[in-house]
Each structure stands twice: as C-alpha cells, then as structure tokens.
Amino acid sequence: MKVSREQMAENRCRILDVASRLFRDKGFDAVSVAEVMKAAGLTHGGFYGHFSSKDDLIAQTLAHVLAADSSGGGDLRAYVSSYLSSRHRDNAAGGCPTAGLAAAIRHQTPAARSAMTEGLRSQIERIGKALPNLDPSDRRRAAIGSWAAMVGAVILARAIDDPVLSDEVLEQTRTWIDAGISQASAS
C-alpha cells in the first residue's frame, strides 16, 4: 500500500520525536533503529525510506529537537526558572537535548556536531534578545555564560546522588543568573 506524502511527513516527524526522547533518555549508543521504529509504531523496514543510516537519524533528530528547543518567548527569568528546576532535571527524556546529549556529541558525525552547533547559536541568540539593555559584546558574553551555566548545572544536578546538593546546584545557578539579569536590566 502506497503511503501519501502527508503520511510520510507525519511518520518522519513521529520517528524524530520518538528518537529524540529515546536518545535523551538512554544515549545514542543504547538506542537501536529497531527500538526507535517500534516505539514510533512503524516497521523497521520503513526506516530507510526516511534516513540513510542511524548516523543520519541522529543528525536529523538533533536538528529537529534543537530547533524546537530554541524557539520560545523572551521572558528570560521564567525560562531560567523552568530550566533550572527539579522537574526539568528529573525529566531527561523530555528535557533539554543539549544537557542530555552534549557530552556524547563529540563522538558523533560532523552532521550531528553541526546540528548541535546551530542549536547552541540559536540559544545564544535567544538569550541575547532577552537582554536588550546590554551593548552587543556584553550581551553575547552574558548569553554564552548564562547558557553554559544553565546546561552545566543541569548536567551536574543529574549526575550526582545527593538530592540536597543537586537542588542546591540548580538553585544557586538560578540565583547567580538572575542576579546577572537584574544587573543587566538596571544598566
């Protein structure tokens, strides 16, 4: 039975969404193509109608999820608060792809690394737009520093087995970034 272009596009989007959750939850190496296709409710044989390889799936999944992750409003405080929350920390599969996958990207293809690079550029731009009172070089520095602190805090908070320290890492990073936002707003 022939599948319409519309159905193909829907299937592809479903595969990318499922792969994104699985990769963020388990990592790239622990997820097979067969597992992705089964979780998407599709047959393994249909995979190659959408992707040339697992590496292609990884690169396209990153581009897909990072584009969705970097879209959003300009309320930086609300974004920081949500990002640096225990809810986000505890939901790796549905959380930030950068925090979930950044360490593993260096072992991936140039296409996957390029997708991560574009995601980083988008986040820097997104945060920078929320800091209009700063001159361009200070805005970029603040955006890069804030994003690096946010991602690092989530990675560290997920990595440790001490819930009190994990919460403190998130809280203190949130407070530190909020102080920088307040200072930038006062400028």
pLDDT band at 181 (very low <50, low <70, confident <90, very high): confident
Q: Residue 142's pLDDT is what? A: 94
pLDDT at 28 over 70: yes
Q: Residue 39's pLDDT is what? A: 97
Q: Residue 68's pLDDT is what? A: 77
Q: Is 124 helix (H, G, I), strand (E, B) or coil?
A: helix
CA atoms within 13 A on the CB side of 143: 22
d(CA 41, CA 105): 27
Q: Is 25 helix (H, G, I), strand (E, B) or coil?
A: helix
Q: Residue 72's pLDDT is what? A: 57
Q: Residue 4's pLDDT is what? A: 86
Q: What is the CATH number of domain 5-186?
A: 1.10.357.10
The domain spans of the chain are 5-186
d(CA 72, CA 25): 23
Please give the single-letter amino acid code of residue 101.
L
- Cα angle: 122, vertex 47, 37; to 5 degrees: 85
d(CA 121, CA 70): 9
Q: Residue 187's pLDDT is what? A: 62
Q: Which DSSP letter does residue 48 get?
A: G
d(CA 22, CA 172): 30
Which are the contacts of 70, defined by CB distance < 8 A and separation ≥ 6?
119, 122, 123, 125, 126
CA atoms within 13 A on the CB side of 82: 10
Tell me what the mean pLDDT of segment 152-175 comes to. 98
**pLDDT tens, position by position, 6-22:** 999 999 999 999 999 99
**pLDDT tens, position by position, 42-101:** 999 889 999 999 999 999 999 999 987 765 556 899 999 999 999 999 999 999 999 999
- Cα angle: 166, vertex 97, 82; to 5 degrees: 50
pLDDT at 126 over 70: yes
Q: How many helices (H) and strands (E) does the chain have?
A: 9, 0
